Structure 1
Amino acid sequence: MIKQALLGEFLHEVENTRKILKAIPDSALGWKPSEKNWTTAQLASHIAEVYNWYQFTFNQDVFDMGAYRYDKGDISRAENIVAKFEENVVKAQQALENSDERTYFNDWKMEMDGNVLFPLMPKIQVIRGFLFNHLYHHRGELVVYLRSTGNKVPGLYGPTADDKM
């Protein structure tokens, strides 16, 4: 039952993520709001990468970021970032669909070189916070990046200022 609720939200939000990633023009990829921020390409690539974390979160009780390797691919073109997103979504959906609800309350943590990065907590809390909410946070940032570069923003939860009423 929990899995079905997660899957429903996942599928709905994948469509929203797809819309926002497809709205990025190549001309905006190098922009960043400050020296401390990622470029649009780096932020969009990170959003695509979050979907790669599903298999480690659903299938393991410890995610070792020290051993984690990820090939972002060529992020100099928006279509490449979208393609990587699509590849990762397939794996994420499989991890969610094949997950065992009985493991959702197992303790889970993230480590790197023996240091705890994400404290021990139930896996379901990690799924909601680390996978779902984390993604929504970064999508919100991307909306601001698009608006700041003069680009149109697609409606994710209803119309935007770019939509004609």
Structure 2
Amino acid sequence: MSPIKSLLKELDQEAQTTRKMLERVPTAYFSWRPHQKSMSIKQLATHIAELPTWVTMAVTTDGLDFACNPYKQEEVTNTEDLLDYFERSLEDGRAHLAATRLETLDETWTLRNGDDIYHVATKGEIVRLAYCQIVHHRAQLGVFLRLLDIPIPGSYGPSADEHEVQEAVA
């Protein structure tokens, strides 16, 4: 399998789990945060929903400079908006990755804030970093939901909540 096809397959697999997790985020708890230093559940979930656009950014630009492009998060007002945003982000990232030439993945990409350089890697490594960020923040969201006593879906097998349902049915 070609590296791009492999990356597309992985994106699609992670999207299934991400979609299930985002579906569980209740609008009523959008402002909730487990700690004053934590993002709100809305901020965290919206960040997860936007991360597929980092795939687009990785393969279509040479980097991101926060000094020139201050971060501004998409405004979502409910769970339906959140899911719609995720689907749009996913389609954008998927389409750009599918159209990418293999050689592009070897080009350098830089994350910076003006003169401060945070990270330099190949564009292919940045695509993988975006996937890692999705998984990382999705796990954070799982903790947030668990603290709110909202059943969480499994990621790579059944969750404890799904396991309980399976045992009850058996």
TM-score under structure 1 length normalisation: 0.90
Report the CA distance shift for 1:71/1:161 in structure 2 as closer, same or farther (over 3 A): closer
CA distance in 1 between counterparts of 2:42 and 2:72 reads 16
Alignment of 1:22-61 (within 5 A): 22-61=23-62
The whole-number CA distance in structure 2 between the counterparts of 1:92 and 1:52 is 5
Q: Which runs of 5+ in 2 are unaligned?
A: none
Once structures 1 and 2 are overlaid, which stretch shifts more, 40-49 or 108-117?
108-117
Query: For residues 24 and 99 of structure 1, what CA distance do their matches in structure 2 show?
Result: 33
**What are the superposed Cα offsets for residues 98-151 of structure 1, whole Å, 9 maximum, x if unpaired?**
111111111211122233122x2222222212x110110000000001110010
Counterpart position of 1:106: 107
**Take 2:122 and 2:91, find their aligned partners in 1: how far apart are those partners?**
25
In the TM superposition, residue 71 of structure 1 has moved relative to its aligned partner by 5.1
Identity %: 27
Higher deviation after alignment, 53-62 or 108-117: 108-117
In structure 2, give the amino acid aligned to 1:128.
Answer: R
**Which position in structure 2 is the counterpart of 1:150?**
149
CA RMSD of aligned residues (A): 1.5
1:5-84 equivalences in 2 (<5 Å): 5-68=6-69, 70=72, 72-74=74-76, 76-84=77-85
Q: Counterparts of 1:10 and 1:53 in 2: how far apart (Å)? A: 12
Q: Name the amino acid aligned to 1:67.
A: C
Structure 1 runs not aligned, ≥5 long: none
Task: Check conservation: 2:47, 2:73, Cα contact below 8 A.
Answer: no
| Partner Cα separation in structure 2 for residue 21 and residue 39 of structure 1 | 14
* 1:161 paired to 2:163: no
Amino acid aligned to 2:53: N
Which residue matches 1:122?
122
The answer as to whether partners of 1:28 and 1:146 remain within 8 angstroms in 2 is no
Structure with greater proportional helix content = 2
